[in-house]
């Protein structure tokens, strides 16, 4: 039987989820801390010291839980994490797309598998250390996802896939605080992770060399191929399509006497297309796997603000429904590097309207 004040909190061993545990406890919740085991083998576990679910992170989370006097467990999510996050990450790069593994983890692990486990354990809620707000709108009788009070830490871009059931059963206490306030709370409580830096890496690629990670874990051989221009003329050799992403300028390993950018990745011919800065500008895109939050689906065109990557500025655009799962987005002005595989997220002021995955730029 679920207790409506019992919450299963994902603890990464960082300062954010640690302070989230304290805030929830102060608000009267019965908090159970959990670190999700996602490492794929013992060697990876022993050698990893920076990821959010590494062995050192587990020990940090356990020390915080002891300090706050809450139960703490480690739960095994490695099989579903491999299938839904790691394999997806590898397959997307092999198909010439640039995925966002944190979005996949939020969608399939934290707010699906983890929530299911919480309900099995009699918890009404899951909670995380995300900087975002969840509010119920009495007028439309739906839960809304809203931006954090501080734009620079807002994490709603990575949460747009949440549905009404998940929003109803999720707590995000940090959405009303800025990072400095969270650090001060941790210091005041003398938490052992108060000064711990934020993780900046993909948690399962500890050295952040995702190309070599894919090469080592791919079932497909990664071969060198040709750089070409948009007419198909040979420009040089590339080391494998997994090392490149649309819009990339740095690290191409080719000198042509002028700045060049990746404009397309041709998987079938194993070619990477290069062009100038104008070739990576676009005003329209198609997106699929679309999810809307304040309403079930888009019935007509809608003016919104749109982000095409995590750290991008939100830009004015109009979204049009192509069908139930695909939208066309037309921006008010051209944007640089519309990248297939990345997520595109729609906003109305501070409210998340929804989002999807970029299929392609419409030339």
Rounded CA-CA distance 319/331 in Å is 9
Structure tokens at 290: 């679309």
What are the φ/ψ torsions at residue 169 (nearest 5 degrees)?
A: -110, 25
2.60.40.10, 3.10.50.40, 2.40.50.1070, 3.40.50.620: CATH of 6-189: 3.40.50.620
The CATH number given to 223-275 is: 2.30.30.280
Determine whether the annotation assigns residue 14 to a binding site. yes
Is residue 129 marked as binding?
A: yes
pLDDT of residue 324: 79
The reply, when asked if residue 36 is annotated as ligand binding, is yes
pTM, entire model: 0.93
pLDDT band per the 50, 70, 90 thresholds, residue 158: very high
Residue 33 annotated as lining a ligand binding site: no
Contacts of 346 (CB under 8 A, 6+ apart): 160, 302, 304, 305, 306, 319, 352, 353, 354, 355
Statement: residue 190 has pLDDT above 50:
yes
Domain 281-362 has CATH 3.30.565.10: no
Site of tokens 């995702």: 210
For residue 50, what pLDDT band results from cuts at 50, 70 and 90?
very low
Tell me whether residue 10 is annotated as binding: yes
Task: Give residue-wise pLDDT tens across range 284-297.
Answer: 999 999 999 999 88
105 as an active site residue: the answer is: yes
Q: What is the pLDDT of residue 276?
A: 94
φ, ψ at 349 (rounded to 5°): 55, -115
Among 351, 356, 360, 357, which Cα is nearest to 144's? 351
> Is 11 assigned to a binding site?
yes
283 vs 3, more confident: 283
pLDDT, the chain, mean: 92
Of the residues 52, 53, 105, 123, which is catalytic?
105
The residue written with tokens 């809307």 in the block is 292
Comma-separated ranges of CATH 3.40.50.620 domains in the chain: 6-189
15 is in an annotated binding site: yes
Q: Any binding-site annotation on 17? A: yes
**CATH 2.30.30.280: which residues of the chain?**
223-275
């Amino acid at each position: 039987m679920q207790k409506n004040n019992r919450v299963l909190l994902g603890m990464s061993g960082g300062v954010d989820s640690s302070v989230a545990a304290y805030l929830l406890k102060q608000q009267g919740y019965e908090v159970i801390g959990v670190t999700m085991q996602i490492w794929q083998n013992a060697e990876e576990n022993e050698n990893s010291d920076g990821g959010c679910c590494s062995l050192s992170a587990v020990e940090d989370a356990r020390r915080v839980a002891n300090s706050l006097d809450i139960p703490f467990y480690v739960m095994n999510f490695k099989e579903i994490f491999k299938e839904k996050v790691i394999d997806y990450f590898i397959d997307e790069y092999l198909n010439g797309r640039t995925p966002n593994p944190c979005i996949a983890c939020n969608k399939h692990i934290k707010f699906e598998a983890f929530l299911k486990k919480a309900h099995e354990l009699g918890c009404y809620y899951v909670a995380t250390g995300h900087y975002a707000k969840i509010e119920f709108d009495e007028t439309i009788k739906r839960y809304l996802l809203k931006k954090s009070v501080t734009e620079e830490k807002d994490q709603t871009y990575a949460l747009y896939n949440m549905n009404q059931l998940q929003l109803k059963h999720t707590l995000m206490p940090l959405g009303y605080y800025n990072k400095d306030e969270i650090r001060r709370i941790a210091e005041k409580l003398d938490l052992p992770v108060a000064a711990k830096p934020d993780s900046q890496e993909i948690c399962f690629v500890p050295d952040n060399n995702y190309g070599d990670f894919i090469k080592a874990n791919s079932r497909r051989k990664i071969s060198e191929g040709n750089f070409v221009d948009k007419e198909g003329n040979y420009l040089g050799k590339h080391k494998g399509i997994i090392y490149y992403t649309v819009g990339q300028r740095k690290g191409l390993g080719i000198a042509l006497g002028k700045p060049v950018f990746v404009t397309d990745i041709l998987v079938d011919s194993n070619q990477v297309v290069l062009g100038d800065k104008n070739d990576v500008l676009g005003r329209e895109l198609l997106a699929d796997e679309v999810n809307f939050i304040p309403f079930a689906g888009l019935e007509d065109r809608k003016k919104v603000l749109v982000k095409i990557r995590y750290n991008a500025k939100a830009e004015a655009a109009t979204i049009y429904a192509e069908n139930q799962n695909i939208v066309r987005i037309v921006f008010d002005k051209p944007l640089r590097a519309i990248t297939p595989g990345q997520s595109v997220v729609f906003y109305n002021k501070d409210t998340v309207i929804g989002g999807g995955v970029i299929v392609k730029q419409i030339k």
